[in-house]
């Protein structure tokens, strides 16, 4: 009974209005801003055309932030996927206390980034941290490692990011796993498929559509992640070496007070994402989708 | 299902333990540290359980910092965000589901498309806009930001829930003499309640946990929310680990409580294209 | 091709026994149908034969060799599932070839076997399609094709026709029977539909609550049911069970059905029935044997005068419902007689079509085997 459409439109209007003014408008404004030189604290700005972008093209800090950003994103996404899928497969089996475990395993995702960061900063502390204690007592390392110094900061950052976000992958994959009819596995067993083959020929194809979305979403979110990176790297002495693009955009706006430049960095990120997402869609789109 | 061999059971148990340890132990460690006196916190080798558990860290947290204020602020802002989001998303999702109008699918797609704009891309212009409106450094700005960020997901999730409620029920109610509006209130909303609650909770968590918007939009100490307040605690000159761990512990308690209720709904919401349990 | 034997087969879930030590012999090439109401254990039994459920006790023998410890893939069986369980992302061809692929069969051999099976089922032009592009009946055939390709020792069917509409079901029944006639592979087939059981089986196994009630060929099950359950389960519409008191007097044994209706029990069975004189019994008569038909006038026919309650015309006959002692019963009527509710009629049944049931034990009391009224069917 989906009749006269007007009431429907009216129902959506308030939500739409809010989204347009608070999301789309700022984005548009961001585009406009990137074409100006503007001090973040003062209302005036000057039109400079594409100067900001040209500056960035020649800015070594910009390229470094891109490089670091890509290393970070790709590593964390890959690990989140592997861990998330493995955990989902594990938690799809039945065992005593399964529901409790399922709940507990989701916690890293539910807590504020701040808490995740300070918790790991404590675990990875070079004097009193549990991790260093373990490594030294097991003989894996001779002395406590400085997890926040230049050599290891990327590893700690990736560790914390994977810890924090793999439950997202876990949730989505587990939900999908539970809707795979068990008869398919029965048929595969009768057909002679062992556990590995059953995973390859029954489970994985069924997961394809979920993984497609997860990879897309996690890529967008890890590439643009600010909180975790910022909080993990501040104060350890290694800030200069781990600037991802979001951090760089932030610094440009709030340290250098160049709002136009900061906006330009953000726009570049956006364009890169659009290109990547479109290519991704064309290459990997599943027919039975969304 | 054939029974597992002893080896398989052992392997399964081991894997589950490792997973659980990885995911949950760090949180446990934080909680234990929060309850230890300084002498035990800095003991080497570290001991697992506190020998003399103490609430002194929590006490210092309340007495020496503005933790309580931050907590209050977080509660206010998060609740307001949930209310506003649901007020907009429930009718919105209903409109998108039950009515056909020009541009409906485009709107639905565009709404999800806004997620391509990650916070960092919006925050800078958003901040400037708020500044111009004179709303910089207010809670209103935060609530609006959180609402804007939860809306796309809320609309999408509620739409899925509404779609799974057969329209026959509303039609039956309307044949029984209810107006469309009352049919929705008395029939559809109760049935969609799990989805509405789940959406509300996810919005709450999003607002409660946010750092970047709170950091950029709020500068006065008495308006700060918890994530920013705690981060600043950490950046103080001398790090009081016990107190910091205590702050972490207290911050996640509402999340834990709220979350244990919503657990089942989360899985249902995600797989609501035919979950078989 | 194999002979299947179940010896003391048992299944427990925790402490709850769902299959209680059943014994069954299925000859090589036989079409055995496990039939019974939901929850009777027929599917569990089938899954144990397949190896998808582990037996709690007893053994399963294929050609004398125990297989209950073997994985499904090592038992040389093939199974057709109720929901077909076709791999959704593979073409029909790949679906059918999957098991061969698992065995490592060469491409040429795969093509040959798939081609043969496809031809037998008439799905050759569907080989490149995906399951979601097929109708229910076509998917069914593909599921059967996937099983055929394996050339197994035993075919297992788990309610394969339940998801099809009536017309398709009738058609597929014939196909399945044809395939059995052609291949002569041992088949174990599970269904809750007794019509399927009767039309397909060489041997019907009636199951109830984890026990086997009766095993026999269709006609034997129809004519000599061993228990009230079997008598009521086989045959549609269901057999009438009239509560009665068995009385003895100078003229012999007769049953008092109440409402003034008395039935004389056939003299030949006097010896078998006499022990029940004076007791409450049940008289079983199938609706198709209770006729409103003046043509049945031989001696030894029983008669009852009843008032018609409902008439359901079927085309060539009609179903007549009448009430006795508060319960409804069914009989078959001649449609030409144009009966109406309220009409009084005389229903007749031949003596050989009456069954005496002992309500305490649930057993049907049968006369000895040399009763001339029982016809032996050559199998």
* Tens digit of each residue's pLDDT (9 = 90 or more) over A118-144: 899 888 888 888 888 888 888 888 888
Is A96 an interface residue toward C (CB < 8 Å)? no
Residue A56, burial from CB neighbour count under 10 angstroms (0-12, 13-18, 19+): buried
Structural domains in chain B (count): 2
C29-55+69-226 CATH:
3.40.50.300
Query: What pLDDT is stored for residue B274 in this prediction?
Result: 32
CA–CA distance from C19 to each of B4, C206, C212, C216, C232 (Å)?
A: 21, 13, 9, 20, 22
Helix axes A6-19, B67-98, angle to 10 degrees: 150
pLDDT tens track for B203-223: 888 899 899 899 889 888 889
- Between positions 54 and 83 of A, the ones with CB within 8 A of B are none
pLDDT of C222 strictly over 50: yes
With an 8 Å Cβ cutoff, is B2 touching chain C? yes
- Residue B218: phi, psi to the nearest 5? -115, 130
CB B57 within 8 A of CB B246: yes
- Do residues B118 and B192 share a domain? yes
Cis peptide before A236 (omega within 30 of 0): no
> Which chain A residues contact residue C90 at CB under 8 A?
201
Does C264 lie at the interface with B, CB-CB under 8 angstroms? no
Residue C272: CB atoms within 10 Å = 16
Residues of chain C contacting B3 with CB distance shorter than 8 Å = 54
Least confident of A18-22, C321-325, C374-378: C374-378
Chain C: residue whose CA lies nearest to A192: C73
Residue B182 lies in a domain: yes
A2 has a pLDDT exceeding 60: no
Q: What was the pLDDT predicted at C373?
A: 39
Let me know whether B108 and B20 are in one domain.
no
> Is A189's Cβ below 8 Å from some Cβ in C?
yes
At residue B237, the pLDDT reads 61
Q: Which residues of C touch A183 (CB under 8 A)?
A: 81-83, 85
Cβ count within 10 A of residue B177: 8
Copy the structure tokens of residue C247. 């009385």
- Whose tokens are 């599921």? That residue is C143
What confidence tens digit (pLDDT) does each residue in A170-209 have? 988 988 888 888 899 999 999 989 889 999 999 999 898 8
Whether residue B123 sits in one domain with residue B88:
yes
The domains of chain C are located at 29-55+69-226, 237-365
Residue A224: is its pLDDT beyond 80?
A: yes
Question: Which residues in chain A are contacts of C146 at CB distance < 8 A?
Answer: 187, 191
pLDDT over threshold 70, residue C177: yes
Structure tokens of A120?
Answer: 């790991």
CATH number, domain at B110? 1.10.3720.10
- State whether A186 and C77 contact (CB < 8 Å): no
Residue B73 banded pLDDT, cuts 50, 70, 90: very high
Whole-number pLDDT of residue C113? 92
Partner-chain contact A181 C85, CB within 8 Å: yes
How many residues does the structure list for chain B? 277
- Do the domain assignments include residue B277? no
Collect all residues with Cβ–Cβ distance below 8 Å to C246 and sequence separation of at least 6. Answer: C253, C254, C255, C265, C273, C276, C277, C278, C279, C280, C281, C356
Which residue in the set A11, A25, A259 is minimally distant from B124, CB to CB? A259
Are the C-beta atoms of C332 and C318 separated by less than 8 Å?
Answer: yes
A-B contacts (CB, under 8 Å):
273
| A206–chain C Cβ distance below 8 A for any pair | yes
Mutation to test the C interface, candidates A192, A203, A204, most C Cβ within 10 Å? A192
Q: What is the pLDDT of residue A288?
A: 46
Instruction: Quote the Cα angle for B27-B270-A278, to 5°.
Output: 105
What's the token pair of residue C338? 């144009």
Residue A208 CA to residue A201 CA, distance in Å, equals 11
Please name the fold of domain A35-284. MetI-like fold (1.10.3720)
Q: Which residues of A touch C50 (CB under 8 A)?
A: 186, 190
Tokens linked to C279: 């007791």
How many Cα atoms are found within 13 Å in the side-chain-facing hemisphere of C53? Answer: 20
Report the share of chain A in percent with pLDDT over 70. 95
Q: Do B253 and B225 have their domain in common? A: yes
**Minimal CA separation from A196 to chain C, in Å:** 11
Q: Say yes or no: B197 and B133 in one domain.
A: yes
Asked if C52's CB is within 8 angstroms of A189's CB, the reply is yes
Q: Cβ–Cβ of A266/B120 closer than 8 Å?
A: yes
Distance from CA of B169 to the nearest CA of C (A): 27
Instruction: Identify whether residues B26 and B127 lie together within a single domain.
Output: no
A211 inside 8 A of chain C by CB? no
- At residue B274, φ and ψ (nearest 5 deg) are 115, 55
Residue B276 lies in a domain: no
Query: What mean pLDDT is reported for chain C?
Result: 87
Strands (E), A217-276: none
A5 closest CA partner among B175, B103, B192, B177? B103
Q: Are strands C291-292 and C302-313 parallel, antiparallel or unpaired?
A: unpaired
Asked if A95's CB is within 8 angstroms of B116's CB, the reply is no
Judging contacts by C-beta atoms under 8 Å, the chain C residues touching residue A192 are 72-73, 99, 102-103
User: Confidence class of residue B4 from pLDDT cuts 50, 70 and 90?
Assistant: low
Task: Give pLDDT, residue C139.
Answer: 92
Please identify among residues 135-194 of chain A the ones whose CB lies closer than 8 Å to any CB of chain B. 137, 163, 167, 171-172, 174-176, 178-179, 181
Question: Residue B103: what pLDDT?
Answer: 75
Q: C81 and A193 in contact by Cβ < 8 A?
A: no
More confident residue, B26 or B274: B26
Mean pLDDT across A33-43: 82
Measured distance CA(B224)–CA(B119) in Å, rounded = 19
So what's the pLDDT on residue C321? 92
Chains that touch B (3 or more CB pairs under 8 A): A, C
Shortest distance, CA B181 to any CA of chain A (angstroms): 11
CATH number 3.40.50.720 is the correct assignment for the domain at C237-365: no
Residue A37's pLDDT is 86
What is the structure's pLDDT at B82?
A: 95
Cβ of B29 within 8 Å of Cβ of A122? The answer is yes
Q: Are residues B121 and B10 part of one domain?
A: no
Task: Tell me the chain A residues in contact with residue C98 when contact means C-beta distances shorter than 8 Å.
Answer: 188, 191, 193, 201
Specify the 3-state DSSP secondary structure of B193.
Answer: helix
Is the predicted pLDDT of residue C216 greater than 80, yes or no? yes
- Residues near C366 by beta carbon (within 8 Å), at least 6 away in sequence: C224, C226, C272
- From the list A115, A133, A250, the residue facing B45 with the nearest CB is A133
The two beta strands, C327-334 and C291-292, are parallel
Q: How many CB atoms neighbour CB A35 within 10 A?
A: 18
Do the domain assignments include residue B1? no
- Looking at residue A202, the DSSP 8-state letter turns out to be I
Which residue ranges make up each domain of chain A?
35-284
Q: How far apart are CA C233 and CA A224, in angstroms?
A: 67
Domain containing B40 equals 6-54
Q: How does residue A290 score in pLDDT terms, banded at 50, 70 and 90?
A: very low
pLDDT at C104 over 70: yes
Task: For C32-52, write each residue's pLDDT tens digit.
Answer: 999 999 889 999 999 999 999
CB atoms within 10 A of CB C296: 14
Touching C (3+ Cβ pairs <8 A), the chains are: A, B
Return d(Cα C56, Cα B149) in angstroms, integer.
Answer: 55
CA distance B272 to chain C (A): 19
Reduce the DSSP state of residue B79 to 3 states and report it. Answer: helix
pLDDT digits (tens, 9 = 90+) for C250-299: 777 888 888 778 888 888 888 888 888 888 999 999 998 888 766 655 65
> What are the phi and psi torsion angles at B90 (to 5°)?
-65, -55
Strand partners, C344: C307
Higher pLDDT, C366 or C243: C243
Distance from CA of B135 to the nearest CA of A (A): 13
B276 interfacial to chain C (CB closer than 8 Å): no
Looking at the structure, tell me whether residues B118 and B32 fall in a common domain: no
| Mean pLDDT computed over B264-272 | 50
**pLDDT for B226-256, tens place per residue?**
999 888 887 776 778 888 888 889 888 888 8
Give this prediction's pTM: 0.77
**Is the Cβ pair A193, C98 closer than 8 Å?**
yes
3-state helix, strand, coil in chain B (%, to 5): 75, 0, 25
List, for residues A72-119, the tens digit of each pLDDT value.
Answer: 999 999 999 999 999 999 999 888 888 888 888 888 988 899 899 989
pLDDT for B275: 29
């Amino acid at each position: 009974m989906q009749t006269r459409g007007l009431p429907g439109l009216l129902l959506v209007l308030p939500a739409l209005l809010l989204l347009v003014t608070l999301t789309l408008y700022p984005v548009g404004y961001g585009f406009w801003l990137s074409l100006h030189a503007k001090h973040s604290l003062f209302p005036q700005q000057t039109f400079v055309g594409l100067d900001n972008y040209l500056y960035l093209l020649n800015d070594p800090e910009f390229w470094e932030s891109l490089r670091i950003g890509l290393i970070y994103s790709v590593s964390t996404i890959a690990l989140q996927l592997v861990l998330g899928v493995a955990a989902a497969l594990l938690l799809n089996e039945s065992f005593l206390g399964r529901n409790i475990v399922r709940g507990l395993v989701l916690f890293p995702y539910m807590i504020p980034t701040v808490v995740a960061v300070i918790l790991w900063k404590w675990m990875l502390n070079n004097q009193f941290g549990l991790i260093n204690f373990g490594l030294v007592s097991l003989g894996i390392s001779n002395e406590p490692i400085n997890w926040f110094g230049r050599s290891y900061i990327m590893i700690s950052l990736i560790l914390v990011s994977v810890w924090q976000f793999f439950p997202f992958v876990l949730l989505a994959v587990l939900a999908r796993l539970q809707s795979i009819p068990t008869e398919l596995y029965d048929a595969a067993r009768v057909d002679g498929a062992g556990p590995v083959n059953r995973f390859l020929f029954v489970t994985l194809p069924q997961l394809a559509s979920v993984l497609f979305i997860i990879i897309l979403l996690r890529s967008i979110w890890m590439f643009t992640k600010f909180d975790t990176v910022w909080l993990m790297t501040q104060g350890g002495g290694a800030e200069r070496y781990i600037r991802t693009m979001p951090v760089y955009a932030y610094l440009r706006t709030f340290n250098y007070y160049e709002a136009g430049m900061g906006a330009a960095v953000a726009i570049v990120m956006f364009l890169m994402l659009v290109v990547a997402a479109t290519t991704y869609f064309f290459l990997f789109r599943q027919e039975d989708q969304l | 299902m054939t029974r597992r061999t002893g080896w398989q059971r052992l392997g399964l148990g081991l894997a589950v333990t490792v997973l659980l340890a990885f995911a949950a132990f760090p949180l446990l460690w934080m909680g234990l540290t929060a309850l230890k006196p300084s002498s035990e916190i800095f003991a080497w080798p570290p001991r697992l359980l506190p020998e003399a558990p103490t609430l002194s860290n929590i006490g210092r947290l309340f007495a020496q910092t503005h933790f309580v204020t931050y907590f209050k602020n977080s509660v206010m802002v998060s609740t307001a965000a949930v209310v506003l989001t649901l007020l907009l998303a429930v009718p919105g999702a209903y409109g998108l589901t039950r009515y056909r109008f020009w541009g409906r699918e485009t709107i639905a797609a565009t709404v999800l498309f806004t997620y391509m704009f990650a916070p960092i891309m919006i925050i800078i212009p958003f901040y400037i806009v708020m500044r111009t409106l004179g709303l910089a450094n207010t809670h209103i700005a935060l609530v609006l930001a959180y609402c804007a960020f939860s809306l796309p997901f809320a609309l999408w999730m509620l739409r899925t829930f509404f779609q799974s409620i057969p329209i026959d029920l509303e039609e039956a109610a309307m044949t029984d003499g209810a107006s469309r509006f009352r049919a929705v209130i008395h029939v559809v909303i109760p049935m969609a309640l799990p989805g509405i609650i789940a959406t509300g909770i996810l919005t709450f968590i999003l607002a409660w946990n946010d750092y970047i918007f709170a950091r950029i939009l709020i500068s006065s100490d008495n308006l700060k929310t918890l994530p920013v307040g705690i981060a600043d605690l950490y950046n103080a000159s001398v790090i009081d680990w016990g107190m910091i761990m205590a702050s972490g512990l207290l911050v996640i308690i509402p999340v834990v409580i709220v979350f244990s209720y919503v657990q089942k709904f989360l899985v249902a919401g995600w797989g609501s294209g035919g979950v078989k349990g | 091709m194999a002979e299947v034997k179940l010896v003391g087969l048992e299944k427990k879930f925790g402490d709850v026994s769902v299959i209680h030590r059943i014994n069954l012999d299925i000859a090589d090439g036989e079409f055995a149908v496990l039939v019974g109401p939901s929850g009777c254990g027929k599917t569990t039994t089938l899954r144990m034969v397949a190896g998808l459920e582990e037996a709690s006790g007893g053994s399963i023998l294929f050609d004398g060799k125990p297989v209950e410890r073997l994985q499904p893939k090592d038992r040389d069986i093939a199974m057709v599932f109720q929901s077909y369980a076709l791999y959704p992302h593979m073409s029909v061809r790949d679906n059918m070839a999957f098991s061969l692929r698992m065995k490592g069969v060469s491409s040429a051999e795969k093509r040959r076997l798939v081609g043969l099976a496809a031809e037998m089922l008439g799905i050759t032009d569907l080989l490149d399609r995906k399951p979601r592009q097929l109708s229910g009946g076509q998917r069914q055939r593909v599921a059967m094709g996937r099983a055929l390709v394996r050339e197994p020792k035993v075919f297992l069917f788990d309610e394969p026709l339940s998801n099809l509409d009536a017309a398709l079901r009738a058609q597929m029944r014939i196909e399945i029977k044809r395939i059995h006639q052609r291949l002569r592979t041992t088949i174990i087939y599970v269904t809750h539909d007794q019509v399927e059981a009767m039309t397909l089986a060489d041997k019907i196994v009636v199951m109830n609550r984890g026990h086997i009630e009766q095993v026999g060929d269709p006609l034997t099950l129809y004519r000599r049911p061993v228990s009230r359950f079997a008598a009521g389960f086989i045959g549609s519409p269901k057999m009438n069970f009239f509560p009665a008191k068995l009385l003895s007097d100078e003229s012999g044994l007769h049953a008092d059905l109440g409402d003034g209706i008395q039935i004389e029990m056939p003299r030949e069975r006097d010896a078998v029935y006499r022990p029940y004189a004076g007791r409450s019994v049940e008289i079983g008569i199938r609706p198709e044997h209770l006729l409103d038909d003046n043509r049945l006038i031989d001696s030894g026919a029983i008669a009852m005068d009843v008032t018609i309650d409902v008439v359901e015309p079927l085309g060539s006959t009609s179903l007549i419902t009448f009430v006795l002692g508060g319960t409804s019963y069914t009989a078959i009527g001649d449609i030409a007689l144009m009966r109406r509710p309220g009409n009084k009629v005389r229903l007749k049944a031949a003596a050989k079509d009456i069954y005496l049931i002992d309500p305490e034990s649930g057993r049907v009391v049968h006369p000895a085997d040399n009763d001339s009224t029982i016809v032996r069917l050559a199998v």
